[in-house]
Structure 1
């Protein structure tokens, strides 16, 4: 797994990803392999090989951020505040008058959550740039945003959220939808008044997802509850602290900004958690035993599900499949028939198979019907500096062995002295699964090599065929591409000889586009929509090889020749200009223009590449919007869908883009004549994104 090292305190210009909190809040996320079991959820498990690129498309300097051009104005005047069932709290019993704390039952909590989810969110320009985090001592962040909006630090009082705080020793049990722990909003010292100060004191960052809970808690009614083992006195103690923090925060804001500040209230749930389990299971994320219920989306789990769905086992050659380790199912009873005869696990730690071991497995298969296991080096593990004859012989021997097993063919393998090392006789063809955790990272080297061997095709054709004809989403390192090109003639000579074919190398000359690849292909998000970077967009031959006939450039210009532009056609290239990834420039007013262009390509069977510079923020935002529109998915599910299909790169739409997408849900609901109802609220969405990204970032 690759990670970005960000030294603590280093100012990071837009739109690079800044460092997350050095003391991150506990998370309800995990990344289990299906089926879900009860595990330690304090730290989400990263998906193998995911990494965060430096999403810095505009080349900003570290020292000072650049002031962007003004976005379309949208004043706060006349905007309606969000309504709430909890304000005024006249319908609820006041159990403590000073500070005020009210009682609420499970039915009331369910009603309040449902009501809040149907309230339109405030306009984007009311919430931003305040939500980015504007600490009064952070001169860099303030200078950048104050140039656009002088009242940037004033809280958006039209927002009225609902925050749920869970009290108890076992934080990974009995979790309601969107619930947090007190440490996420309250200072560690009980002597420190108010809410936790989360605005960063230095640096520049437009991806401060980890501070959103702390910021919006001051704009929310707060419900406090405990599990069935929690001391009610502990719940009451935290509720009093929160109510005092609300009063302190209100007075502070009224003094600083010279305007009335809304009254937000604190509530204590009177019913036991078992009441929620019995009557409102749709609100339960983790039940009282700590297991995911599936009733509330858990981002990490959902990303795993999408990954397994995308990479489920499929046949790339006769009886040879690529898939995830979740596909490597074992018989559960003696009477069960194994789905696979041979399981080959690709791993970074695996050695190259020896011919003697391959021969031994064949002999075992002749005597037994048990599933056989083999390991093979993962993609990227054979570095150019370590290439050896053993590596070349090993990969050819493995391909020859798989071919013999899958096809039941007779084949001889000889060593350098001509002695027969492996001789297989005609036998029953067997099913082979090549697998790894995510289904595409570690298996790509062997998968591509075997396709070259079985189909007797050069590496560039195997690259395209695996992606198009075989319909596999995969990622391979540039060192894999170099290694396969290095062994291409040797591998194809062996394949042709074994299969009784003759080769014409003149017809196999590599195309120009293969030399311009870095190992990655554009990510196929939908059958008609790819997500990629500027390098992909400028590789005209690669676009043609993949059948991509349209290009949507978000804030970047392609460098095509006049001939290439004429060949593609003016109507098949759309460019959004002057759109920076800086946390200020708006993208939402361009959504439908982009989606109409993509939809036109779908109708004409002309797949489109959506790209910016890196392919993680601006273009990812458009792809998420299209998935929301076409598949009728909520933002959380569409985000995980696209994130899983971006393969080795983590998408990073910044805060404003994510909020725009959450507002886009409202627009889609209106177009579909449905009432607005968010699956998750803004604080919950931001918290989950921060928790998913945390394993990939470490402090220096």
Structure 2
């Protein structure tokens, strides 16, 4: 059982920060996607009997379903073919509504089986079930409904939650063996739809013009797969059988009479009645990082849709920016002659250039030419935005950095999400334009300008190294003594990222953030909620913060087994106190992407009165409890759909 305890200091010290190399170079390798460069996150010890929590429900009885028993349905297959039944739109709608109102099985019954326990994957098996081989067996408590569209084109005529046949069944009429045969993961969302389909009633349907005989043949394939699965996994027939159904109603009828079932219309239009995760992610990302002015005439934000998806979105009639600088993995630092060419073209209309993305400038090398080009580029941007007369030129005299009599140019620094690739250039420019050292630029951009940004440790080292040059040449700080510039301890310990501000009083972060209390104070954070990972603070620091401002949720390892949902209410009570006191709280685990993120999502759900759109199984279960307090239970999405959508969102960032 997870418990809430006061954190005790650990008897080990934090390692000193790595020294900053004295030489730098620009490496032309693409910068990695941030999720591939999360801090190393050991999963903690394997689950043991001592850590197990009594299940909320110890029965293995299957969830109630309107599709079982199938006695009341008309059989449409002929012997010796397997049983296949007809179902109309109205009955399907009722069955899905009924399933959404049934309690989810307890996580202890579903995991670790859902993580993937391939018989040849000894690493995964050894971690999860070395002591209890019974954990490898498919749980008896699940009975779902999997809707399958014949043909697999889900871009049109899609029923809510529908999947393509090849997502769950093989050409040999067997359910897919989705468990990874090697590797280790406790976040195998991509396998869970297929695994759960084998323990579901299958409902197949097709577009109105499709062949009825082909639809019946597909249904027979699924019925055969159900028989084969039962012979292998339930030879004693201890669980009720699963059945296959064919939708007899036309899709036109479904659209007209049961529109709540339709995610995408027959002509490919999103209905808005069913959430589209990818679209929502894009909208949320753009909202979170919408363009804002970070310095006079210089904006930072996401790449406009008309550039990301040419042809899908119309370009605005009037371009709001004179120069658009896209941070790109494949870009090189512009040279002075190239900038001179762009400078001349600005008289004819808006221009676009590329700049290296965050993480693409690495250390060390003795080549400083590229560093000079970088500083010159930042200087050029500044004098485009501030065309007042200045007697400044680059060191080689190739182009003049003055624009007397010209109008100020509006510059837009952008990347796809508005912060990941563009952070290096944005911070460097802010240092030059505002005349502030790196650490102050970090804080002012975040706290005063309200910008979120992502920087790599190499970016921190680079900006620390180059800040003297930038400040010496900054037009706003002529008298600065660069010999007195020093980096505070919190900046030297920083990995490049700041905790993510979720709400004004709520930050989400990792263990590195939590172990940097001086950084937290600079951000106005005064309380820390640790989920499964204690901070390594001195007793003096604990006393300074006040132990009442620290909470540690113990025995919640990131192993996919330890229950978290039972602790959510305690965590939210701790956050409630923060809101009343006007204090900001950091919620963290080790990496800040699973356990602590679940707590933050729960707080947002509670505060904003939002339903569960995307998170983990235990949050879905916690939402059930909240719904029961308000009235009848009805989930908006079922777990297989959630897992599938999460896997699709993560696919661009997964390792190849």
Counterpart of 1:209 in structure 2 is: 189
In structure 1, distance between residues paired with 2:599 and 2:137: 30
The 10-residue stretch of structure 1 (682-691 or 399-408) with the greater mean CA deviation from structure 2: 399-408
Residue 659, structure 1, aligned to residue 617, structure 2: yes
Q: 1:55 to 1:598 in 2, by over 3 A?
A: farther
2:517 paired residue among 536, 540, 552:
540
Question: What residue is the counterpart of 1:511 in the other structure?
Answer: 488
For 2:263, what is the secondary structure of its paired residue? Answer: strand
Task: Give the C-alpha shift of residue 347 in structure 1.
Answer: 1.6
**Aligned residue number for residue 423 of structure 1:** 402
Q: Does 1:219 align with 2:199?
A: yes
SS in 2 for 1:565: helix
SS in 1 for 2:304: helix
Q: How far apart, in 1, do the equivalents of 2:639 and 2:146 lie?
A: 11
Residue number in structure 1 paired with 2:450: 471
Q: How far apart in 1 are the matches of 2:39 and 2:339?
A: 43
Distance 1:48 1:128 in 2: 29
Distance in 1, Cα, partners of 2:316 & 2:525? 48
Moved more, 300-309 or 677-686: 300-309
Q: Given that residues 117 and 125 in structure 2 are in contact (C-alpha distance below 8 angstroms), is that contact kept between their aligned partners in structure 1?
A: yes
Query: How do residues 347-366 of structure 1 correspond to structure 2 at under 5 angstroms?
Result: 347-365=328-346
Q: Which residue of 1 aligns with 2:354?
A: 375
- For the residues of structure 2 that align with 1:393 and 1:199, how far apart are their CA atoms? 52
Alpha-carbon deviation of 1:592?
0.9
Match in the other structure for 2:171: 188
Equivalent in the alignment of 2:235:
255
Give the conservation status (yes or no) of the 8 Å contact 1:379–1:476.
yes
- Displacement of 1:136 in angstroms is 5.7
Q: Distance in 2 between matches of 1:346 and 1:431?
A: 17
Separation in 1, partners of 2:555, 2:278: 34
Structure 1 residue 677 corresponds to structure 2 residue 654: no
Give the equivalent residue in structure 2 for 1:74. 55
Asked if the contact 1:86/1:112 (under 8 Å) is kept, the reply is yes
1:686 maps to 2:643:
yes
Aligned residues of 2:44 and 2:559 also touching (Cα < 8 A): no
Q: 1:391 aligns with which of 370, 379, 384?
A: 370
Name the structure 1 match of 2:96: 113
Offset at residue 275 of structure 1 (A): 2.8
Q: How many pairs align?
A: 621
Q: Deviations over 1:464-516 (max 9, x none)?
A: 11111111110012222222212211111111xx3474224476422111111
Is 1:602 the counterpart of 2:579? The answer is: yes
Structure 2 Cα separation of the partners of residues 512 and 595 of structure 1: 32
Change (3 A) 1:171 1:108: same
Is residue 56 of structure 1 aligned with residue 59 of structure 2?
Answer: no
Question: 2:434, 2:476 within 8 Å by CA — same for their partners in 1?
Answer: no
Cα distance in 2 for partners of 1:47, 1:91 equals: 56
Counterpart in the other structure of 1:309:
287
Residues 152-171 of structure 1 mapped to structure 2, 5 A cutoff:
152-168=135-151, 170=153
Match of 2:298 in 1: 320
Matched, 1:459 2:417: no
Report the TM-score when normalising by structure 2: 0.86
**Residues 264 and 403 (structure 1 numbering): CA distance in 2 closer, same or farther, change over 3 Å?**
same
Q: Secondary structure at the match of 1:524?
A: strand
Q: CA deviation at 1:460?
A: 0.6
For 1:189 and 1:250, how far apart are their aligned partners in 2? Answer: 16
Give the Cα separation in 2 of the matches to 1:337 and 1:184: 45
Match of 2:245 among 254, 260, 267: 267
Give the unaligned 5+ runs of structure 2. 1-30
Q: Equivalents in 1 of 2:291, 2:36: separation in Å?
A: 24
- Could you tell me which residue of structure 2 aligns to residue 434 of structure 1? 413
> Structure 1 residues 148, 682: CA separation in 2 closer, same or farther (over 3 Å shift)?
farther
Secondary structure of residue in 1 paired with 2:391: strand
Native 8 Å contact 1:48 1:438 kept in 2: no
Q: CA deviation at 1:588?
A: 1.3
Change (3 A) 1:493 1:546: same
Alignment equivalent of 1:621, drawn from 593, 598, 621? 598
1:376 is paired with a residue of what secondary structure?
strand
Do structure 1's residue 573 and structure 2's residue 536 form an aligned pair?
Answer: no
Which secondary structure does the structure 2 equivalent of 1:676 belong to?
Answer: coil
Judge conservation of contact 2:387–2:402 (CA < 8 Å) in 1.
no
Map of 2:159 onto structure 1: 176
Distance (whole Å) between structure 2 residues aligned to residue 335 and residue 302 of structure 1 = 22
Residue 16 of structure 1 is matched in structure 2 by none
Measured in 2, the distance between the counterparts of 1:395 and 1:203 equals: 42
Contact 1:55 1:616 in 2 (8 A): no
Query: Given that residues 250 and 262 in structure 1 are in contact (C-alpha distance below 8 angstroms), is that contact kept between their aligned partners in structure 2?
Result: no
The alpha carbon displacement at 1:288 in A equals: 3.3
- Indicate whether 1:295 and 2:273 are aligned: yes
Q: Provide, for residues 625-661 of structure 1, a one-character-per-residue CA deviation record: whole Å limited to 9, x for no partner.
A: 2222223333334x4xxxxxxxxxxxxxxxxxx2211
Q: Aligned partners of 1:307 and 1:335: how far apart in 2?
A: 20
Q: Unmatched 5+ residue regions in structure 1?
A: 1-45, 640-657
